[in-house]
Every structure is written in C-alpha cells, then in structure tokens.
C-alpha cells in the first residue's frame, strides 16, 4: 500500500486513514510496547473518561489506542491513571 506522506487526514478517505493507523500500530517495535494486559487496562480507563471522543483524547488530541500502546506514554488527563 502506498502512503502519501504529504496528505492531511481530512484529505484521506476514512477507511484509508484508519487502515494506515492500524498498520502503523502493528509496526511499532515490541520493545517499546506495553503488555497486552496493560494495553487493555489502559483502554478500559480511557473508555470511562469524559475526555474520550471518537477515539481521540480531548486533552491532548491523540488517538488513545496509539498512546496507550507505548511504555513511555502517560494519561494526559490524570498522569497517575496509567
């Protein structure tokens, strides 16, 4: 799949940018990822948060499924949550 590096998300078809995001997440180095159990725990916390809207965090603008995946990331709303 060719990825246009100069495209904005708004210029891509919704399916295309969703697929690009999923593909990117699959290629993240395993050494920087949290365990699957920790990842699911983080996502369950995000799903209960009032700052979650359409998969994005209203506090920082990130895709929560991507942010929750890596060890160095913290919850931008309440840093000690995860």
Structural domain spans, the chain: 11-67
Question: What pLDDT, on the 0 to 100 scale, is given for residue 8?
Answer: 63
Separation between Cα atoms, residue 45 and residue 71, nearest integer Å? 16
Residues 6+ positions from 25 with CB-CB distance below 8 Å = 65, 66, 69
Global pTM value: 0.78
Residue 1: its pLDDT value, please? 44
Using DSSP bridges, classify how beta strands 52-53 and 56-57 pair: parallel, antiparallel or unpaired.
Answer: antiparallel
Three-state secondary-structure class, residue 52:
strand
Q: What is the pLDDT of residue 25?
A: 92
How confident is the chain (82 residues) per 10-residue block, as mean pLDDT? 57 75 92 96 94 91 93 88 86
φ, ψ of residue 56 in degrees (nearest 5)? -120, 150
């Amino acid at each position: 799949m060719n990825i246009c590096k100069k495209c904005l998300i708004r210029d891509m078809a919704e399916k295309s940018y969703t697929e690009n995001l999923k593909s990117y997440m699959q290629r993240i180095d395993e050494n920087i990822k949290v365990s699957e159990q920790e990842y699911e725990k983080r996502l369950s916390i995000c799903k209960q948060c009032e700052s979650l809207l359409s998969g994005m965090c209203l506090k920082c603008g990130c895709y929560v499924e991507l942010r929750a995946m890596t060890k160095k990331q913290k919850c931008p709303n309440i840093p000690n949550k995860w």
